[in-house]
Structure 1
């Protein structure tokens, strides 16, 4: 990433003096500040490395015109905040950006091979180079992190002086360490550590073993370098060695919501700061009085009747109006998805709303009847949608989909009333399966046994990674969920070939429950590609029937068969069966479950038992 040229900003007095003296390093897109380089993530800029700072002071640092407020009341209530903020832009006219801190702090010089803390190299002001040989310093390739989100520099001194370190304090020997590569192989055996005190050389081989640091009595120190002045915490999690650029170093915990009626009308945003007062109103007359006070006698953009409808919707979504524990928060999040499913099923015609409406969902033109025996109910075309994705927290070492709340690292040292978020405007197609048919299919012994293997492995992963054994979340793996998830993947792959959208620009939203059997496939990008109409056109009945048949036929064969279809376990933690990158797996940005809980055999069956496949009857026609 190339840093932009330095620029001068006008001060408050109109002069050309910089508004702040902080140096600028590189630039990221707003969406990346949520999904890739969010709080606590490591970001490389040329030959330097930084960690993104927390949001404790960001609300005052980010200017409102560069980091506007995002409104989504339903998601805000679930997450216990009152608003969201879009990360600031990094254009030439921006005054401030996202704050970062240098990390890791240990560097080595490729010229003299010295390995030390960055301050010990005595770099010239404004430059990151070795004072002795003028070579640019290279940040440490290795860091240590734990499942609770703590991260620190790799303990090179302890790793090299194992068994010879006296009291165990870094620098006890008084020597100078060096790091070099022998160049014989590309493995860690060629990365060699040495010290001028005379201890034998040690390679980095074995440092990535799960218990490598624990065997040397190296414990997690509870460091949180992304939070300013954060104290060290007592941590019982074993530290793990990671590559600085590994995806395991940072994974976002995202929560998202679709704007659905009555909240999808942009005129409602004018009331966002006044709902606490409006919830005390019991009659239309009281609501009208409050509206006159809120808008200082000017006409209200929202009528009292609409306000009462919004209050009723708010009460239905959160009847207690109180914040509960994290488990209750997850329950409210599932209830939020239930309401989205209901609205996607009922629709919201374009001619029934105002021009400020952000959610338009209609059945296809014509009779909308799919061919009999396809297994799908008539689809819904979501011609306009808005999704808000908020960065709730992040995880390290483990992926967020299989983590418990206890492993989520906080974005700030003190609680804040807001979270960073982004919004996506796009389109999509909502598909529903025939529930009577899917229930009959799910009762087949072979189907139940196959999904039970997935559920058992996933539940075991959840139990191993749970911070509290008494609060292990149940695995969502059911025949209905696994079928919908796999169907969404093959349809995204099919539409990426047929409609011209790349697979990474499409995203799934699974609705699987006792009374839900649907999947929304929609555009996942925040640019104009999300509103060109190409995806909605794929939902017309004639095209949809052809696409489903083509996707099922394409899923019948994988280039990794017969190994793929006959595998007993695959995927991270063994949570997949017949699924690989050659058939149904998608880019990580497109999948809600990190490419887990997939089984292609549930769609097309196996050579030994074709009846397992829900759509296997399409292969014989």
Structure 2
């Protein structure tokens, strides 16, 4: 990560310009899930915001192809976040300094960073030689805008200088006498009474100061203030709610995962001319022989994919992303045995061999061992404040670049997993139980109430009523995935954070995929597929259900009428079924282990 440098264009005869200052390094996957565009990141005693895509140096960035996901997100392709390479003169991902206000712990001065006259490459007070501290407080709105906390207006409210600057110098002190904001005090040399930061987080505080959102986007290059009518709020710079990513993902499934499709993507031939394709394969005949194809087959496929009249739209009314999931579910139900190398076949799915009768007796209809899979995760936008939901207006999704872009940052990961499909007949009988539906409706009603509050604050442009995905089937599949991940983390030796869930519930689907898809070593140990061996799966399922039958917080946990974030759980807590955030698709919401076991449980018999 580096701050945005001036242009490197060099005038003949001028001395060479130094490369931008390198601040540190983070994993590429973190630029999708943790420190993406618009997120704040602390580096030593400084604070920065990750700059927009139009500031990234992607001259050497690797292109990632996943046509199904690209079509859903309306882009041409994806790119792996760039890494700095001094030999090639690339400097990777850029950052910008934010917040602008810093304070000196020695002299207590509270000033914009440039007024401290720090030495180049340092964040120190030139007068004291002490390291500076970035402001703890920032302003943010629901459209993602960011701004510095208005310290001057905060201390001068109600004074004669409230309409204009007094010319004094601000100071920030913290005596540590209390753990609250009352001990953080702002003063000014003009003589106005000092004021603590107590009450700064009240909703009415900024309204009383007539402070509105200025529409600033400090992460975007050359993006000036925009008109914004939303109320701004005070947030902690290090708060986890200051940045939430909007991440979409897709598995590469047949036919895109193998054969000619994979060959075209691997060698970036989608936009190549016929002459280029013929020249390219003139010395690479073995690649074609490996899949029993010819150059003409490649040319025909490229011509077909480039045909602008090719209509792959969904005519059934299912949303594009929901259809993407449905297609994955159908691929996971069918066998796709290994017949080529991993470069030319990224999806291998085989039915677990053995006697399935013991698992069928408890409601598991089929088990598939996914011995090879490829997943692409793309960052599409981000939000600030409350956790993103389907009812959020698209206006709340902050942009990753000032102008429209034909690519998005993404990572591709390879892994393996186990797919379980539940018995549809037994499931329909179970979910028709009145008591089961009544319990599910408790979570559904809480979710709808929250969605309607969001929709009232920011109406969606399409005006469609909000809908909740919560059903007995969804709660069952989701909770089952959690208890199995917890069990496998103990039995297979995987950390729970290295396992992920992928849920298929609704529209005739009733299944779950538990898989490893991570770029570190925990994703390539090869032990998850072994958990799909029928006898081992039977034992682990039984053990996981026994663990779910009790919790160290019982009876409070089991008898809870609302728990978790926004009351979107029932019998679920950190002592029983909650997982690391990286493992769960729904932010540890929509869970209830009562629907697994007990009188209402699907697995009760």
Task: Report SS of the residue matched to 1:343.
Answer: helix
Task: Report SS of the residue matched to 1:380.
Answer: strand
**Preserved contact between residue 563 and residue 571 of structure 2 (Cα < 8 Å):** yes
Task: Report the CA distance between 1:298 and its aligned residue.
Answer: 4.4
Alignment match, 1:164: 159
**Preserved contact between residue 370 and residue 377 of structure 1 (Cα < 8 Å):** no
Residues 1:102 and 2:100 are matched in the alignment: no
Alignment match, 2:344: 356
Task: Report SS of the residue matched to 2:532.
Answer: coil
What is the alpha-carbon root mean square deviation over aligned residues? 3.0
Task: Report the CA distance between 1:276 and its aligned residue.
Answer: 8.2
Task: Report SS of the residue matched to 1:81.
Answer: coil
Task: Report SS of the residue matched to 2:596.
Answer: helix
For residues 339-359 of structure 1, what are the alpha-carbon distances to aligned partners after superposition, in whole Å with 9 as ceiling and x for unaligned? Answer: 000000012111478862000
Task: Report SS of the residue matched to 2:359.
Answer: coil
Alignment match, 1:509: 502
Alignment match, 1:338: 326
Residues 1:480 and 2:473 are matched in the alignment: yes
Task: Report the CA distance between 1:206 and its aligned residue.
Answer: 2.1
Alignment match, 1:406: 395
Instruction: Note the 1:199-238 alignment, pairs <5 A.
Output: 199-238=192-231
For 1:258 and 1:584, the matched residues in 2 are separated by 26
Q: 1:355 to 1:79 in 2, by over 3 A?
A: closer
Task: Report SS of the residue matched to 1:424.
Answer: strand
**Preserved contact between residue 416 and residue 515 of structure 2 (Cα < 8 Å):** yes
For 1:19 and 1:463, the matched residues in 2 are separated by 55
For 1:611 and 1:291, the matched residues in 2 are separated by 65
**Preserved contact between residue 28 and residue 90 of structure 1 (Cα < 8 Å):** no
Alignment match, 1:259: 252
For 1:176 and 1:439, the matched residues in 2 are separated by 70
Task: Report SS of the residue matched to 2:414.
Answer: strand
Residues 1:190 and 2:183 are matched in the alignment: yes
- From 548, 551, 565, the counterpart of 2:544: 551
Alignment match, 2:5: none
For residues 523-551 of structure 1, what are the alpha-carbon distances to aligned partners after superposition, in whole Å with 9 as ceiling and x for unaligned? Answer: 13112332322111011111111111111
Task: Report the CA distance between 1:471 and its aligned residue.
Answer: 3.9
For residues 141-168 of structure 1, what are the alpha-carbon distances to aligned partners after superposition, in whole Å with 9 as ceiling and x for unaligned? Answer: 1111111111111111222222226454
- From 255, 270, 278, the counterpart of 1:295: 278
Task: Report the CA distance between 1:365 and its aligned residue.
Answer: 2.7
Q: TM-score, normalised by structure 2?
A: 0.89
For 2:503 and 2:73, the matched residues in 1 are separated by 20
**Preserved contact between residue 382 and residue 427 of structure 1 (Cα < 8 Å):** yes
Residues 1:524 and 2:517 are matched in the alignment: yes
Instruction: Note the 1:60-459 alignment, pairs <5 A.
Output: 61-64=57-60, 67-90=61-84, 95-164=90-159, 166=161, 168-169=163-164, 172-265=165-258, 267-269=260-262, 271=264, 294-296=277-279, 298=281, 301=288, 303=294, 320=311, 331-351=319-339, 356-401=344-389, 403-459=392-448
Q: 1:426 to 1:436 in 2, by over 3 A?
A: same
Task: Report SS of the residue matched to 2:344.
Answer: coil
For 1:354 and 1:141, the matched residues in 2 are separated by 48
Q: 1:345 to 1:314 in 2, by over 3 A?
A: farther
Q: 1:447 to 1:96 in 2, by over 3 A?
A: same
**Preserved contact between residue 359 and residue 365 of structure 2 (Cα < 8 Å):** no
Q: 1:530 to 1:11 in 2, by over 3 A?
A: farther
Alignment match, 2:31: 33
For 1:91 and 1:384, the matched residues in 2 are separated by 32
Task: Report the CA distance between 1:460 and its aligned residue.
Answer: 2.0
Alignment: residue pair count: 578
Alignment match, 1:500: 493
For residues 91-148 of structure 1, what are the alpha-carbon distances to aligned partners after superposition, in whole Å with 9 as ceiling and x for unaligned? Answer: 7757311100001100000001111111122223332211221111110111111111
**Preserved contact between residue 401 and residue 594 of structure 1 (Cα < 8 Å):** no
Task: Report the CA distance between 1:225 and its aligned residue.
Answer: 0.2
**Preserved contact between residue 262 and residue 310 of structure 1 (Cα < 8 Å):** no
For 2:30 and 2:59, the matched residues in 1 are separated by 19
Deviates more, 1:420-429 or 1:118-127: 118-127
Task: Report the CA distance between 1:37 and its aligned residue.
Answer: 1.0
Task: Report SS of the residue matched to 2:199.
Answer: coil
Q: 1:431 to 1:91 in 2, by over 3 A?
A: farther
For residues 583-619 of structure 1, what are the alpha-carbon distances to aligned partners after superposition, in whole Å with 9 as ceiling and x for unaligned? Answer: 1111111111111111121112xxxxx32211233xx
Q: 1:340 to 1:591 in 2, by over 3 A?
A: same
Q: TM-score, normalised by structure 1?
A: 0.86
For 1:494 and 1:165, the matched residues in 2 are separated by 65
**Preserved contact between residue 222 and residue 234 of structure 1 (Cα < 8 Å):** yes
Residues 1:616 and 2:599 are matched in the alignment: no
Q: 1:515 to 1:313 in 2, by over 3 A?
A: farther
For residues 317-342 of structure 1, what are the alpha-carbon distances to aligned partners after superposition, in whole Å with 9 as ceiling and x for unaligned? Answer: x9745799xxx9x9111111110000
Instruction: Note the 1:513-592 alignment, pairs <5 A.
Output: 513-592=506-585
**Preserved contact between residue 569 and residue 589 of structure 2 (Cα < 8 Å):** yes
**Preserved contact between residue 50 and residue 104 of structure 1 (Cα < 8 Å):** yes
Task: Report SS of the residue matched to 2:582.
Answer: helix
Task: Report the CA distance between 1:556 and its aligned residue.
Answer: 1.1
**Preserved contact between residue 184 and residue 197 of structure 2 (Cα < 8 Å):** yes
For 2:205 and 2:44, the matched residues in 1 are separated by 31
Alignment match, 1:280: none
- From 459, 465, 468, the counterpart of 1:468: 459
Task: Report the CA distance between 1:293 and its aligned residue.
Answer: 6.6
Gaps of 5+ in 1: 4-9, 278-289, 605-609
Q: 1:536 to 1:108 in 2, by over 3 A?
A: same
Deviates more, 1:474-483 or 1:190-199: 190-199
For 1:356 and 1:230, the matched residues in 2 are separated by 43
For 2:578 and 2:151, the matched residues in 1 are separated by 38
Q: 1:269 to 1:145 in 2, by over 3 A?
A: same
For residues 179-217 of structure 1, what are the alpha-carbon distances to aligned partners after superposition, in whole Å with 9 as ceiling and x for unaligned? Answer: 111211222111111112222222212222344323432
